[in-house]
Amino acid sequence: MKFFATTTKGLEEVLADELTRLGVREVVTANGGVNFSGSLKDGYRACLWLRTANRVLRPIASFPCPSQEALYEGVYALNWNELLTPSMTLAVNAKLRDSEITHSHFAALKTKDAIVDKIRDNCGERPNVDPKDPDLRVNLHLARNHCTISLDLAGTGLHRRGYRRDPTIAPLKETLAAGLVALTGWDQSTPFVDPMCGSGSLPLEAALLASNYAPGLLSPNFGFQRWTDFDVSTWNELLEEAETAQRELPANLVFGSDRDKRAVDMARRNAESAGIGARVRWSYNDFAKLEAPADHGTLICNPPYGERIGDEVELEAFYRKIGDTFKQNWKGWTAWVFTGNLALAKRVGLKASRRIVLFNGPIECRLLKYDLY
């Protein structure tokens, strides 16, 4: 079976590494995702374990699609009766690029019409649409008049881990946070610190990684569990395997701090709802005053960068202060700054030994590495 896991632009290699470690076959990176092949069990496993995938798609058909008629006919021709019954609900997501059909909403509607017409023609009744929580989410990808129809295994974005109780103003998407943690190459045995943790996404993803906690265990309610071909015993086997694979997070390994007490309280609540609250060390402090918990370790921060919160002039001074604090208080550490403002990043005043381009939604960002020897 072929699959395509989608991810944030810039994280394709990280996701490919994750997939390779899961033991799936034919892992090939593409723009915005990774192709792989494997069994249905591998597809379930991908939803349960992948930390950086947004969706896991199973392509079921691909055909030329130069017009709306071709779209309708191509979709209608597929064997939807194997996948849907009239009592199931359905939703269609569409993404278009460089094609005759230019409106994704229209393309989604046409696809939906073809599917429900097919079921009605065969069964006399049609399935209903539920855009929020459908039993089957169908994904349409139309590029240069060529269409790929896929089933969305999870049916919901995998970044919705379910631990986020009250998001702060600018939380990182969980899958992006997990990707940043992976890119730091943190060894999981020396301390990991986020001194501007906001709602705690980075420490939480680090904690989940170090405790070998399958992120899908946090809210194991996936679309494929409602499909006609759902293999419950395989799924239960995978859940059991994931439960036993967990290990306790060592104390004094993962730290999150922020100067905003509200944010720290939120991060703590998020950690509690993820079931790892007691082991992450949360504190409430200004970064300049925070003491390094060891001689060396990994520090990562996602300071405000003016796009959504904060003010440019004040931020320039703040980024200078970040550089000074690195030099004074964090000697021996590897520090990483994730920011969407390159001009501000220069104010850190230290030479970055690595610069990784990533996207936070539409914002082009950099993850910058500073070796503080």
Ligand X SMILES: C[S@@+](CC[C@H](N)C(=O)[O-])C[C@H]1O[C@@H](n2cnc3c(N)ncnc32)[C@H](O)[C@@H]1O
In the complex, the residues that contact ligand X under the rule CB under 6 A are: 168, 170-172, 177, 195-199, 201-202, 258-260, 263, 286-287, 302-304
H helices of the chain, where? 12-22, 40-49, 68-76, 104-123, 174-184, 201-210, 232-245, 261-274, 312-329, 342-346
Which among 131, 156, 168, 133 is positioned nearest to 53, based on CA atoms? 156
Buried b / exposed e over 105-125, threshold 16 CB at 10 Å, is eebbebbbbbbbebbeeeeee
Q: Tell me how far apart the alpha carbons of residues 149 and 81 are, in angstroms, rounded to a whole number.
A: 15
Is residue 270 classed exposed, middle or buried when 0-12, 13-18 and 19+ CB atoms within 10 A define those classes?
buried
CB of residue 263 to ligand X, shortest distance in Å: 4
CB of residue 55 to ligand X, shortest distance in Å: 21
Looking at the Cβ atoms of 135 and 194, the one nearer to ligand X is: 194
CA angle 200/202/204 to nearest 5° reads 65
Which among 304, 296, 49 is positioned nearest to 178, based on CA atoms? 49
Residue number of the CB closest to ligand X reads 198
Looking at the Cβ atoms of 199 and 341, the one nearer to ligand X is: 199
CB of residue 167 to ligand X, shortest distance in Å: 7
CB of residue 301 to ligand X, shortest distance in Å: 7
CB of residue 353 to ligand X, shortest distance in Å: 22
CB of residue 51 to ligand X, shortest distance in Å: 15
Q: Tell me how far apart the alpha carbons of residues 350 and 327 are, in angstroms, rounded to a whole number.
A: 9
Q: Tell me how far apart the alpha carbons of residues 87 and 116 are, in angstroms, rounded to a whole number.
A: 11
CB of residue 14 to ligand X, shortest distance in Å: 17
What residue type is 296 in one-letter code?
A: H
CA 143 to chain centre: 23
Looking at the Cβ atoms of 75 and 172, the one nearer to ligand X is: 172
Question: 191 near 61, Cβ under 8 Å?
Answer: no
Question: 44 near 56, Cβ under 8 Å?
Answer: no
Looking at the Cβ atoms of 56 and 183, the one nearer to ligand X is: 183
CB of residue 325 to ligand X, shortest distance in Å: 9
Looking at the Cβ atoms of 196 and 274, the one nearer to ligand X is: 196
Bridge partners (DSSP) of residue 37 are: 2, 25
Tokens of 212: 């070998």
Q: Is 249 helix (H, G, I), strand (E, B) or coil?
A: coil
Question: 227 near 83, Cβ under 8 Å?
Answer: yes
Looking at the Cβ atoms of 113 and 265, the one nearer to ligand X is: 265
Looking at the Cβ atoms of 146 and 160, the one nearer to ligand X is: 160
Looking at the Cβ atoms of 23 and 362, the one nearer to ligand X is: 362
CB of residue 305 to ligand X, shortest distance in Å: 7
What is the DSSP code string of 324-342?
A: HHHHHH-TT-EEEEEES-H
CB of residue 363 to ligand X, shortest distance in Å: 12
Looking at the Cβ atoms of 75 and 264, the one nearer to ligand X is: 264
Looking at the Cβ atoms of 102 and 328, the one nearer to ligand X is: 328
Tokens of 190: 């020396």
